[in-house]
Every structure is written in structure tokens, then in C-alpha cells.
Amino acid sequence: MGKESYESLDYDVIVIGAGGAGLRAAVEVSENTGLKVAVITKSLLGKAHTVMAEGGAAASFGNVEAQDGWETHFYDTMRGGHFINNYRMAEIHAKESPDRVLELENWGAVFDRTPEGRIMQRAFGAHSFRRLCHIGDRTGLELIRTMQYKAIHTGIEVYQEVTMTKLLVQDGRVAGAFGYLRSDGRFVLFRARAVILATGGWGKIFKVTSNSWESTGDGAALAFRAGVDLMDMEMVQFHPTGMVWPPGVRGLLVTEGVRGEGGLLRNAEGERFMKTYDPERMELSSRDVVARSIFKEVQAGRGSPHGGAWLDISHKGPDYVKAKLPGMYEQFRTLADLDITKEPFEVAPTCHYTMGGVRVDAETCATSIPGLFAAGEVACGLHGANRLGGNSLSDLLVFGRRAGLGAREYLSQSVDWAQVDESELDAEMDRVLEPFHRPGGVNPYHVHEELQAIMTEHASIMRSGDVLQAGLEKLLALKEMVPKMSIDGSRVYNPGWHAVFDVENMLLLCEGIVKSALERKESRGAHWRTDYPDELPQWQEINFVESFDGENIRLRTEPVKAMPENLTKLFSYGKAPGLVAREGKES
Amino acid sequence: MGEEFRLSVWRGDPSGGQEVEYRVPGETGMVVLDALQYIQHNQAPDLAVRWNCKAAHCGSCGAEVNGQPKLLCKTRMDDYVGETVSVKPMQTFPIIKDLVTDVSWNYQVAKEIPPLDPMYPAPFQMQQVDATRVQEFHRCIECFLCQDTCHVLRNHEGQQQYFGPRFMVKIAEYEMHPIDGADRLPLLADQAGLGMCNVTKCCTEVCPQHIRITDNAIIPLKERVADRYYDPVKILLRRLSGKKAGPTQTPSRSST
Amino acid sequence: MAQPLEQTTTAKTPKAKSKTRPYWVEPVVTMTVLGVWVLYSLWEVLFHNSGTYHNYISPYFSPGVGEWFGWHVLDALYVAWVPLVFRFSCYYYRREYYRGFFWDPPGCAAADKPRPRYSGETKWPLAFNNLHRYAWFLVLIVLIFLWKDAVEAFFFKNGFGVGVGSLILLVNAVLLTFYSFSCHAFRHMVGGDKDCYSCDGKPTTSYKLWQRVSRWNVFHGTWAWASLASVWAADLYIRLLMMGVIHDVRLF
């Protein structure tokens, strides 16, 4: 192979990923600091998976129910995460999210309003009070659009449609990232003093998923290979309500807002089955519980015609449904020929979110490699074993900003650009171009389909030891296909070529998921083991942490950080702190 | 479903190209993007098509289906039973490859629009009735189908003179925001080129988000520009009273 | 929190089969209809001096400005330009004639030869369309007279009665009222120019008016065509009566 050339660009900070967290981080780094910042995205600006968020952003304003406060938000988040969350992240998140939401309002987001003219908040699963600031059912669109326009006015440079294939680390600190431009296949080196990862999750490992094609876990895999630890990888959230029919839209998200606005779940016999599983919270139970309940109903033979449950919002009347859930109305009308204001519709669990990810410091979002930061879905810790609806959008904002601040602080110690090893780049370019030189190899799309089939069969919503073990063996066998994937055509906008690296990244992460799922011998949150159906106190004390040496994934346990007394007290009342009389509580 | 769909997909690059025919097995509720993905996964892995969410939320997959600007993920194959479905890239933007076009011009224009300039920092006091009007504009998913169909950009090479419907909606979103204190009429009248629009409403027709672009954004903006620059009585009254043009409230700015 | 402005657009029945017509069909139809209407109007205005038949008066000749001042050359000219200017500068008709006569554009997403000399509505005379609001005020005056005519059409020599002509003039007045009050410029005047309807407390009258006009405005195009047809029909009916081709039918 002849020597390839590449373009070299120097920035103080690069942010990989242009979703909510990436843009929020970039704004924090660049606004009024004079730092040179680039945001690098795999697709076009404003198309990131954040747009898919529908229900809202959780922030304890108490605009609708005044008892709400950060303590109750914190309490709900920890309970929802089954106490393996990083308590400090949950605390920061609960305290800071109202400010972050108001920032959005300053930057142009227009939330739905209460009759008093304040931000409207809706009920959501496992939130004790009405807490989700929303704009109909397209809150994520509002968030990303607002951040996008904020970002382009703070002097950030945006590189669209760039695939990053390698994170560069030199002398134990980050040196930048290397990849290619999708539009023409040219290589590009971003040298940077600090790198912020905001690449989102890896929901594309399942066939039935609410995630867009981008969610292939690139950032986590890049960091993992570079030596960063991943944590809680077994925790993959299934959203209880995805579309079921027709086949082309299977998995497409039906917002939890439908239940938040009063939607009812029924089985084939017309029974509100949630009363058997969570009589107190019913449809508004946490996602892991509702998803499992639907799954169990289907298994028991009480499923809807296409293997789901019936969700019904028609009793709310057409005007209300169209005003509060316009996107859902439109989605079903055009894609399923169905009017949700008149009839119930089928829903079934769909892969939605990955709680696990890059292990970060709660205060600064720093990873174990100096100069490398991570925020948003790619990071880990806030959500524990199960994420509450609405905590993701506020997570992006709170920790996006924190990562930005972390990077700024790191740069204030006047770190210079690290050297880049030319031979490493040459090797990387050869590796990336390899698939063009393997005529007659394996189609990367088919490897991806195979991967999805394995994960669905072996590591989905219901897991058990033998099935996971068999899955792991299949995954290791599938890994053999990686060096055989090949692609025809040119380097110009060649999706098959791009798919090769997506598949590689997902395979690595899947192995991590299955390995840590095998080790967590209990059921907790999203992780449901039929061979260990109970939640066991000794497992509440540990997180599983994985590291990668280039060949093998090594798994170890780390103790969950203990909460200080002022926080443990919040769990001693036997009910949400907001429901306890306000005196005797610190603010 | 057993039946088979025929698609004629434009393949090529800036130097030229042609339509290539593919056959795809039908499935209930199939959309054009499903068919293209089938082709991509099984027949032509290098077929370039942009898509992200496949749920009509992100606006990545705009193209022209049988000559009409559409979102590929929202256009049902069974709308074209018995026809060959022709899929072409958006014609207004330069081709990169196959169905992928270079839409970067739009991102350049976006930078020209000054951001919201609140008269006081959040939390805002705002009633739903006031929010509703601008929330319509917030539905935009930036698929740029309106930019594609707009004849000013498409047939008259108006990129230098007109921002296009998408950005009229964006400006309307700020201009009609109850708390915004900036004066956007000079921009509209001059650089943004509002006058280039001749209200022929193709943008409204193609909008997958059903934003009434012309009636609710462009025409109200034209009326505001007329207030300022065309209405002789208003201009005279402003001269006589010595009042400065612009928002009536005095902005009490504070940055956050 | 209902959003009345959107319901009409989202409530489309699913799966309206897209029968692909050539893009030029619509503009050609528009061109023909509007063209015939203009020719008819010219014939009416240039070759006639009166539009009165007993208690009926054609909308082309009302109000009878010529009569007031004793001018009797082309009587219709003193008034007929007002609705013409109103319709010419109307946001809806602009869509129609730019598409139909200028072919800017002939159809959505039609492939057309690049014509870089296009200047939209930035230059005179088309920039004149920005003063549509003045045409609205003028047409409002005419509208008052048309209502007066409609009422008078029910009072025959022998007292109150209803003829086909009376009904036509009444329908015409109603349609023109809807057309005029669903006008975009009117919508702007009654509240569209405001950014905030509730900033001084409760939503104002201005908000309610703006809401109502907005609801009508959705169908502005429908009113535009319907009132064009009714004006035409009213005038033609009276012209035929005057020419003795037909006789008015008294219903009672």
C-alpha cells in the first residue's frame, strides 16, 4: 500500500459527538474563553440521536407540584437506578438541572407553559412529582436545535460527517483523534490538548431498537481501546413502549409521555395488567418494571396480535392528544395508518438506552486518561441500573457543561499539544483501508445483522447464565469475521465502508456487555436474570469495571461509593423527601 | 406481502450519473427508506443515502420521490402500487454521491441569523397562547425540503439574495418570540431577502412537519417589513413622532 | 391548549392517492380561468355604462360613483379598479398568478431553466404588493355598499320579496365578507403584529380577534375563488337580465 496523506488540524479542544452533551460541552469550553474548539459529528449537525428524545427534561422546579425539590429528584434517581449509581453524579444532576433548563430558555427554547406562565411539567415514570419540562412530544428536537444555534454563535467549528477511528494517546495523555471525512474519504488528524467524548450509546446492537444508526458506541469503543475503563456495561435499558407493527417501524419509540399524559396499558384480555406488577404506580412505574411486565404478559400468552400490549390514550379526546402528543399522532397516522385519538395501539419493549459506559469523575467528567473527558450517554454513573425517563436530557446538559468546565480547568494548567506518532497513523490508515483490499469477503451489514440476532437471543431483556455463555461464544466466533469484512466501491461517501467500523465497535462493546452480565448474578434494574430472579443486597455494593488490553477484556469489581449522611437521611423517611414536612431538612 | 417493488434510484457523483433499477421484496407498511436499505444491505453496499432516525424526527433523508420532495422514511411504498418508484437526490444542492447532497450552504446561512436576545433573563413569564404561535416554527426538523423546492433557490440561483423558507421560519421564531428584544426587520428586508419570496407556497406544500411556512411565518414577516419600509403613513407617523423603529419595550439586557 | 391553526393541515385523510399529473396542468388551468375572468371583466367594464336592473345592481358598478357626480363615461371604471387592486395584491392571488402567468414557479420542484434575473417582490411594480393593506381599506368601503345593494335587492317595487337575483347578491356579499376578513393584511392589523398577547395580564381582545381571523385565513384561498365566482355570477345574471335574455325568477 502506498503512503497515504492526511490533513492535520490543531485545536485546543475537540468534542466528538454533536448531540446535546457534545454541543453543551463545546459551548462551555468556547464561550468567552478564546479557546479554539471543534465539534466533530458522524452525521449532519442537529441530527444526532438527541432529536429522538420526546418526553422531556427532568428538573425539579416544582412549577406544577411545589413540593418537588432536588432532594426528591435525587431520591427518585437513586431509587430508579437501584443504588448502584454514582451518588455524587445523581446529586449534582438533581441540583443543577433546573439551571440548565433555564439556560435553554434563555437561548431560545420555548417550553409548554403552566397557566401561571411558567414552564409546564408533566408526570413521568417513577418521578414522584410532575417534573418533566417539555414541548409537546419533541423535547429532544427543541434541545438539540437550541444548542445547535447557540453553538454556531460561540465560534465553534463544526466538522460534519466525519468518522473517528482512533483516539490518540501519547505519554499517558490524550493527543487527539484520527479518522476520515465521509464525504470524500480523506484522512484527517485532529490534534488537541483535550478531547471530550459525547458519542452517545450503542442501542444499535439490537434489531428492535429506538436508536438511530449512529448509536454504535464509537466513543466508548475508541476510549476502551485507548485504555479507559468501562463500567456497568450489563445495564441496557429497554423502553417499555416501542412500536410493533408494521415490521418496518418495529422498535420505533412511543414516548413515555403517552403514559405520562394518562395512557393505559392493557393485555389481550383487556385487563390493566400493571396492577399485578406495581399496583401503586401502575403505568407510571419505572421503565425496567413496565418493560418486564409487558414481556411477561406476552410470554404468558396474553399479548396483542403482534406480540405486545395495548396502549390507549383515546379517552383523553382528540384535541388533548393532538396538542400534547402531536408527534405520536402523526407517527401512527403516516406509518401505521392508525388514529391514536380513536383506538388503542400495540407496543412492546425496545432497546432504548445504555446506562453503562465510560467511567468518569463526577465533578469534572474526567476519565482515567488525562485530557480525556466524557459526558452524556457514553459516560456512566448517573443512572445506575435503570435510567428514569427525562433524566437523559438533563444529564446531557448538566454533564455536558461539567465536561466543558473540566476541560477548561485541565487546559488552565497550560498543557501543550502532545506529540503524535507518525508510524501509528500510517498503521491506522492501512487498517482503515484494508476492507477495500479484501475482495470477496464478508458483507459488513450481514455481520451487523448477525450481531443483532445474537444479542437479541442471548442478552436481551431476559437473561440467564447458560444463554449468556452461549451468546459469548457466538460473539467470539463472530469476531473472527472482523478481519474478513470487505467492501466495494470508492472512498467517496461509501456507507458499507463506514459500517465496517461501526460493527467493530459494537462487537467489542457487546463482548463487554455479555461478560459483565454473566458476572452479575442477581436481577437489578434493567438486568434481569431468570436464574437469579432476586435483587440481592451484596451486589448493591459493587459496580463491574472492565478494561481492555488490546486482546482481552478484563473484568473487576469496584465498591459503590457510599453516600454521606445528609443524603442517606433522605431515604429514611419511607417516602419521597418532598412529601415530608419541610422543616428539619437542609436545603 | 409477496409482491415486489421496483425502484429506480439515481446513482452517480458530480461528474454525472444515471438511474439504476432495483427490485425489492415488499413488506407491510414499507417506506422508501426500507427499500433503499434493503438494496444497500443486499445489492449495493456502497449506495449512498443519508438517514438517521428513520422516524421523521431528524430530517436527514430528504430526497425526491417521483419528482416530489419527500422524507424517505415517511413515504410509503404502497402509495405507488404498480409504479416504478423513482428516487433522486434533492436537485437544489450540489451532489456528493447518489442520493447524498451537499447541504452545507444551509449551515452557512444559519450563522447569519442573530440568536435570541431576551429582554430579561429566564425564567420567562409567558402564557401558552403566546408560546403556541412560535412553537409551530420550533417543529422544524431542518430536512431542507423547503429549501429544495423553493424556486428562488432552485431555478433563480437566489442563494446570494435569499436565505430560503427554512430560515424565514427560523427568523420568525425569534422575531415573534414574546421575550426577544432584537430588531430583525433590517435583516429581513435586506440580507435575508424576504422580498425575493413571492408567496407561491411550495415550501408549505412539501413541509413534512406541516408548518404553515408561508401563511404563518413569511407573510406575517412581510407585513412587518411593510410596516417599517413600505407603508407611507406609518413611515410618516414615525418621522413626526420622532420614535425610533424597533420593539416598543426597552430591552433590559443581562447575559447569563 | 388546542392549536386550531394546525388541525386543518394535520387532519388530512390518510393515503390520498398521489395521481401524478404533469406539473404544468395546474398553472395552465389557473391561467385559463383567470384569463377568461379578466377578459370578461374588461368587456363588462369597457362596453357598458350601467349595471342596474330595477332593484339589482351589479357588483361591478357599485357604488355608483359616476351617478353621484353625473359622469357617464364608463361608469364601472370609477369603482371596479378597487377590487381588482385588492385581488391583484392579495397574498393568495399572488400565489396563483405568479405560478400561472409568470411561471415562477410553474409547479413545486419542477425542473426549470435557471433564470437568475428574477427579483421577486423587491422591485417596483411588484413591490407595490406590499401595500395590500390599503387595498383592504378601500375594498372595505366597497363592501359596505355591496351589503347595501344586497339588502336593497330584497325590496322590489311592490315591497319585500325574494328573487334569484336577491339571493345571488346576498351570497356574493357574504362570500366577499369572508374573503375580505380572512385577509393576511387584516390578520396582521388585528394582532399579527404583536409578539405577546398576554404580557399585560390576560389575553386581549386583540388575541381573540387574531385567533378568529387566523382560523378564517386558513381558507383564504377558498374564499378567494368562491367570491370570484360569485361576483362573476352576480354580474352575469344582471347583465343577462338587462339584455333581456333571461327573466328574474321571484320566489315569493
Range in A447-456, A468-477, C38-47 the model is least confident about: C38-47
Of residues B178, B180, B199, nearest to C91 (C-beta): B199
DSSP state of A524: B
Q: Which residues of C44-129 form beta strands (DSSP E)?
A: 52-53, 56-57
| Residue C7 reports pLDDT greater than 50 | no
Query: Mind listing the pLDDT tens digit for each residue in B179-210?
Result: 999 999 999 999 999 999 999 999 999 999 99
How far does C204 lie from chain A, in Å, by closest CA? 15
How close B180 gets to chain C, by Cα (Å)? 9
Range of the domain at A10: 6-235+353-412
Q: Are residues A182 and A313 in the same domain?
A: no
CATH, domain range B104-241: 1.10.1060.10
Q: Do C6 and A112 touch (CB under 8 A)?
A: no
Report, at the CATH architecture level, how domain B4-101 is classified: Roll (3.10)
A83 and A194, same domain (yes or no): yes
Cα Rg of chain B (Å, integer): 22
Based on the fold, state whether residues A32 and A180 are members of the same structural domain: yes
Q: How far apart are CA B87 and CA B5, in angstroms?
A: 13
Cross-chain Cβ contact A248/B131 below 8 Å = no
Partner-chain residue, chosen from C117, C130, C218, that has the shortest CB–CB distance to B230? C130
The order of strands in the sheet holding A264-266 is: A236-243, A345-354, A309-312, A264-266
pLDDT higher than 90, residue A245: no
Q: What is the pLDDT of residue A585?
A: 47
Contacts 24+ apart (CB under 8 A), A101-105: A101/A57, A101/A59, A101/A61, A101/A133, A101/A394, A101/A397, A102/B121, A102/B122, A102/B123, A103/A397, A103/B122, A103/B256, A104/A57, A104/A142, A104/A143, A104/A146, A104/A147, A104/A397, A105/B122, A105/B123, A105/B124
What per-residue string of b and e applies to B166-199 under the rule 16 or more CB within 10 Å gives b? bbbbbbbbbbbbbbbbbbbbebbbeebbbbbbbb
Residue-wise pLDDT tens digits, C91-133 = 999 999 999 888 888 888 877 777 778 888 988 888 899 999 9
The predicted model gives C203-209 an average pLDDT of 83
Q: How far is CA A296 from CA A174, A301, A311, A461, in A?
A: 47, 9, 16, 11
Q: What is the pLDDT of residue B251?
A: 39
What residues of A are in contact with residue B135 (Cβ under 8 Å)? 110, 112, 135-136
Question: What is the reported pLDDT for A282?
Answer: 92
Catalytic residue among A259, A287, A498, A527: A259
Among the residues of B94-127, which ranges form H helices?
A: 104-111
> For residue A228, what pLDDT is reported?
96
Task: Say yes or no to pLDDT of A231 above 80.
Answer: yes
* Residue with more model confidence, A79 or C252: A79
At residue C229's C-alpha, the angle toward residues C228 and C233, to 5°, is: 120
Tell me what the mean pLDDT of segment A421-438 comes to: 94
* A141 residue type, one letter: L
Chain A residue with minimum CA distance to B129: A113
Tell whether A314 and A371 lie within a shared domain.
no
Higher pLDDT, residue C200 or A545: A545
* A to C CB pairs, distance under 8 Å: 23
Which residues does chain A have within 8 Å of residue C1's beta carbon, measured at their own beta carbons?
112, 320, 323-324
Instruction: Kindly list the residues from chain A whose CB atom is less than 8 angstroms away from the CB atom of residue B49.
Output: 495
Who among C3, C121, C203 is closest to B195 (CB)?
A: C121
Do A182 and A61 share a domain, yes or no?
yes
Q: Are residues A63 and A169 in the same domain?
A: yes
Contact B33, A192 (CB under 8 A): no
pLDDT at residue number C201? 65
Active site residue A302: no
Q: Give me the DSSP letters along A508-522.
A: HHHHHHHHHHHH--S
Give the residues across from C126 on adjacent strands: none
**Mean per-residue pLDDT of chain B:** 91
- CATH number for position A368: 3.50.50.60
Q: State the pLDDT at residue A586.
A: 46
Average model confidence (pLDDT) across chain A: 94
Q: Which three cell numbers stand for residue A396?
A: 446531557
pLDDT score of C203: 67
Q: Judge whether A174 and A369 are in contact, CB under 8 Å.
A: yes
Domain boundaries, chain C: 23-109+122-182+220-242, 184-218
The reply to whether A188 and A75 lie within a common domain is yes
Active site residue A239: yes
Contact yes or no for A128/A578 (Cβ under 8 A): yes
C-alpha count within 13 angstroms, C-beta hemisphere, residue B220? 26
CB-based contact C10 A117, cutoff 8 Å: no
Distance from CA of C183 to the nearest CA of A (A): 26
Residues A261, A401 within the same domain = no
Q: Is the dihedral of CA C221, C226, C231, C236 positive or negative?
A: positive
pLDDT for C68: 82
Interface test with C, best of A322, A332, A339, A342 (most C CBs within 10 A): A322
On the question of pLDDT at C165 being above 80, the answer is yes
Number of structural domains (chain A) is: 2
* Boundary-marking domain end, from A319, A350, A381: A350
Chains near A (3 or more Cβ pairs under 8 Å): B, C
**What's the CATH number where A266 sits?**
3.90.700.10
The whole-angstrom separation of Cα A459 and Cα A358 is 20
Q: What is the CA radius of gyration of chain C?
A: 21
**B8 Cβ neighbours under 8 A, 6+ residues apart:** B19, B20, B21, B22, B84, B85, B86, B87
Give the model confidence (pLDDT) of A203-228 as tens digits: 999 999 999 989 999 999 999 999 99
pLDDT > 70: percent of chain C = 90
Nearest-angstrom CA–CA distance, A455 and A470: 11
**CA–CA min distance B256, chain C (Å):** 23
What residue spans define the domains of chain B?
A: 4-101, 104-241
Helix axes C132-152, B219-229, angle to 10 degrees: 110
SS3 A210: coil
User: What pLDDT, in 10s, does the model give residues C9-65?
Assistant: 333 334 444 456 788 888 899 999 999 999 999 898 888 878 888 889 898 888 877
Q: How does residue A11 score in pLDDT terms, banded at 50, 70 and 90?
A: very high
Cα separation, A431 vs A222, in Å, equals 15
pLDDT at res. C118 = 87
Find the residue in B nearest to C12 (Cα). Answer: B210
Cβ contact C99:C85 at 8 Å:
no
Share of chain B above pLDDT 90, in %: 83
What contacts C117, CB < 8 A, 6 or more positions away? B156
Residues A17, A34 within the same domain: yes
- Residue in chain B nearest A254 by alpha carbon: B55
Query: Where is the domain boundary, A333, A350, A367?
Result: A350
Residue B115 is classified by DSSP as P
All residues of chain C having their beta carbon less than 8 Å from the beta carbon of residue A333 are 10, 14
CA of B240, closest CA in chain A: separation in Å?
A: 35
Q: What is the mean pLDDT of residues A8-36?
A: 96
First to last CA, chain B: 57
Separation in Å, CA B179 to CA A117, A344, B116: 12, 40, 9
pLDDT digits (tens, 9 = 90+) for A291-303: 999 999 999 999 9
**Residue with the larger pLDDT of the pair A17 and C5:** A17
Low-confidence stretches of chain B (pLDDT < 70) are 1-2, 243-256
Block residue for cell numbers 430530517: B59
- How far does B139 lie from chain C, in Å, by closest CA? 12
Strands (E), A344-397: 345-354, 357-359, 372-374, 379-380
Q: Which of B149, B162, B198 sits opposite C104 (nearest CB)?
A: B198
> Is A293 found in the same domain as A223?
no
Give yes or no: residues A220 and A155 share one domain.
yes
**CA nearest B180 in C: which residue?**
C195
Query: Looking at chain B, how many residues does it have?
Result: 256
b/e A445-459 (16+ beta carbons within 10 angstroms → b):
bbbbebbbebbbebb
Window 76-115 of C: residues touching B by CB (8 A cutoff) are 91, 94-95, 98-99, 102, 104-105, 107-109, 111-115
Q: ipTM score of the complex?
A: 0.92
pLDDT reading at C206 higher than 90: no
Write out chain C residues lying below 8 Å of B180, CB-based: 195
Give the residue from chain B lying closest to A328, CA to CA: B55
